[in-house]
Structure formats: structure tokens, C-alpha cells
């Protein structure tokens, strides 16, 4: 399923809002991040419970338990936040930002044998694209208006404004000049 090219949501995105259907499409990542976060909370809770019920024999075991258990629990909770927490916060606020520029597709190899990782760059921003099907459907070398969530930098919609190749480089320069003149007025 393509979660980025959503023509029905363009009107709301232009007004700076995320639609309910776009939020539902992003819930998979939030749920995926919930698992390590809840595992960290459970580990931390188990440590606190052990302190309350006096399961530790001496101060050394308390310190050792705090270092390993709490440290590992904090790491799991941080990983959950990075995977889905920022996205959840963006979804709760429902704000969408936009950036205009030339849209370019590129891919790279993922670390530790993950395969290919797909990216889409607009202006100075780079967005990671979650699936190859979505990556294939994105505009390449077009001037686009990209809509994204501000905290997680997740691309949620894309609108092609015009093609560079259809105008040529001189036509593109004329369009940029016309935009600058319009902004001056």
C-alpha cells in the first residue's frame, strides 16, 4: 500500500493537517515501536518490584541490578521511542509541514546486511521510504511539494508542481525568476 501519494489528503495537508486515514496508515510503525518500549517498562517495573519486596541480599546486588536492568530497560524504551514514539507524537499533534524542491530518488545499502534502503530527497531534506512499491511510484527529477511530519521527518504526501524536463533549464530559471518577482510584490 502506498502511504505517501494520497491525493484525497492533499487539501488537508496544504492546510497543515494530517488526515485520519494517513494516521491509520502510519500506525504500523507506532505499534512496532510499542514492543521494545513496553519490554523496557516491564523490566524497569520488575526491578522496582524487587526493591520493594527486598529480593536483593546486599547493596552490591542492588547496584549491579540497577546498572544492568535499568540500563537495558532504558535502552529498550529509547529504541521504542526512536521507532514509533516520535511518529506517535507527530500523529497526536496532527501538524504537517511542507517543503518545495526537486524530488530525487536514491537508494543505498543498509547496515548489517539489511538489503537496500530507499530514500527520497526534496530540497535539503532526505526521507526514508519504507517500501519498494512506494519508492517506484514517487516522482523523480520533478519539482515537488513534499508534506512531512515535523518531529519524525516522515514523508506523508507529495504533490508534483511541474517537471524540470518539460521546461528545460532555461524554462526552470524563468519559473524561479517569476516566483521571486511574485514574492517581492
Which one, of 166, 159, 123, 163, lies nearest residue 138 by Cα?
159
> What is the spatial distance between Cα 58 and Cα 76, in angstroms, rounded to a whole number?
27
Same domain, 113 and 178: yes
pLDDT at 128: 87
pLDDT at 56: 73
> What is the spatial distance between Cα 174 and Cα 150, in angstroms, rounded to a whole number?
31
Interval 10-31: pLDDT, tens: 999 999 999 998 998 889 889 9
Question: Which residues in the chain come in under a pLDDT of 50?
Answer: 1, 167-171
Same domain, 81 and 103: no
- Beta-strand relationship, 142-149 and 154-163: antiparallel
Q: How many domains does the chain have?
A: 2
Distance of alpha carbon 50 from the chain centroid: 37
3-state secondary structure (DSSP) of residue 68: helix
Same domain, 128 and 109: yes
Q: Which domain holds residue 68?
A: 24-93
pLDDT at 134: 82
pLDDT at 61: 79
Q: pTM score, two decimals?
A: 0.73
pLDDT at 164: 54
pLDDT at 12: 94
Amino acid at each position: 500500500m502506498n502511504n505517501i501519494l494520497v491525493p484525497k489528503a492533499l487539501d488537508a495537508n496544504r492546510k497543515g493537517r494530517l488526515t485520519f486515514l494517513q494516521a491509520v496508515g502510519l500506525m504500523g510503525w507506532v505499534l512496532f515501536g510499542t514492543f521494545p518500549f513496553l519490554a523496557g517498562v516491564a523490566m524497569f517495573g520488575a526491578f522496582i518490584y524487587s526493591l520493594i519486596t527486598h529480593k536483593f541480599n546486599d547493596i552490591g546486588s542492588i547496584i549491579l541490578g540497577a546498572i544492568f536492568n535499568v540500563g537495558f530497560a532504558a535502552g529498550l524504551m529509547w529504541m521504542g521511542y526512536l521507532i514509533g514514539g516520535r511518529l506517535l507524537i507527530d500523529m497526536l499533534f496532527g501538524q504537517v509541514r511542507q517543503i518545495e524542491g526537486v524530488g530525487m530518488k536514491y537508494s543505498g545499502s543498509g547496515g548489517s546486511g539489511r538489503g537496500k534502503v530507499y530514500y527520497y530527497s526534496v530540497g535539503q531534506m532526505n526521507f526514508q521510504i519504507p517500501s519498494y512499491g512506494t519508492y517506484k511510484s514517487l516522482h523523480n527529477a520533478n519539482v515537488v511539494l513534499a508534506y512531512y511530519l515535523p518531529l519524525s521527518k516522515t514523508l506523508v504526501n507529495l504533490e508534483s508542481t511541474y517537471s524540470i524536463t518539460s521546461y528545460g533549464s532555461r524554462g526552470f530559471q524563468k519559473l524561479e525568476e517569476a516566483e521571486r518577482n511574485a514574492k517581492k510584490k
